[in-house]
């Protein structure tokens, strides 16, 4: 997933960030938001999931580095 995110960011242009996108949310409601807000939300949500995976693995006694993305050399 990190590679997909990295490639996506490389393709973004500054003018893309201020564009509005229309979409239907998970509750079926049509919405419109600026790309920069959506990107921030997606990245923060991905961080949440990375942290949850780390917590579950730690609870099972499995050492991991999911919550240490700043030390992950593959990013």
> What range defines the domain where residue 61 resides?
2-71
- For 68, list phi and psi in degrees, rounded to 5: -110, 50
pLDDT in tens, 11-57: 999 999 999 999 999 999 999 999 999 989 888 888 888 888 888 99
* pTM beyond 0.75: no
| Number of domains, the chain | 1
φ/ψ region of 28 (left if φ > 0, alpha if ψ in -120 to 50, else beta) reads left
pLDDT in tens, 6-16: 898 899 999 99
């Amino acid at each position: 997933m990190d590679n997909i995110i990295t490639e996506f960011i490389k393709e973004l242009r500054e003018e893309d960030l201020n564009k509005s996108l229309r979409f239907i949310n998970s509750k079926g409601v049509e919405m419109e938001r600026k790309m920069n807000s959506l990107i921030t939300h997606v990245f923060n949500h991905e961080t949440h999931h990375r942290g949850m995976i780390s917590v579950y693995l730690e609870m099972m006694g499995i050492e991991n580095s999911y919550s240490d993305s700043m030390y992950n050399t593959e990013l």
